[in-house]
Amino acid sequence: MDLKARLTQLEDIEAIRQLKARYCEVCDANHDPDLILTLFTANGIWEGDGIGRHAGHQQIAALFRSFQKTISFSQHMVQNPIIAVDGNHATGRWYFFGLFTYYKGQQR
């Protein structure tokens, strides 16, 4: 891999790190549905164990509106990223630790 390709790969990895950080920031700022949609493509997918799969802006926004009704506080912390970039395709994995406070009667 030449120097230009290596630099592009590093820039892509950093852009993915920044995207994940912005995602956590939006979640911790009351799960704003309008802001979260700026981080997803129109056909994006949000999927979480125990919560399910939500495809497209309409479903993702509805999910985040439900979070606003149930979660009174959250602190998302992600670490140990493993990011692989191959041209226009990338994958990423993080360890996640989250602190959550729920409105009374709304625990998951």
pLDDT at position 27 = 98
50 contacts 78 by C-beta, under 8 angstroms: no
Reply yes or no on domain 3-102 having CATH 3.10.450.50.
yes
pLDDT at position 108 = 61
What phi-psi label fits residue 66: left (phi over 0), alpha (psi between -120 and 50 degrees) or beta?
A: alpha
Distance separating alpha carbons of residues 24 and 17, to the nearest angstrom: 11
DSSP per-residue string spanning 22-57: HHHHHHHTT--HHHHHTTS-TT-EEEETTTEEEEHH
- Name which residue leads in pLDDT, 95 or 106: 95
Q: What is the pLDDT of residues 64-89, one digit of tens each?
A: 999 999 999 999 999 999 999 999 99
Phi/psi of residue 83, each to 5°? -120, 130
Q: What is the pLDDT of residues 5-64, one digit of tens each?
A: 999 999 999 999 999 999 999 999 999 999 999 999 999 999 999 999 999 999 999 999
Domain locations along the chain:
3-102
Distance separating alpha carbons of residues 37 and 49, to the nearest angstrom: 20
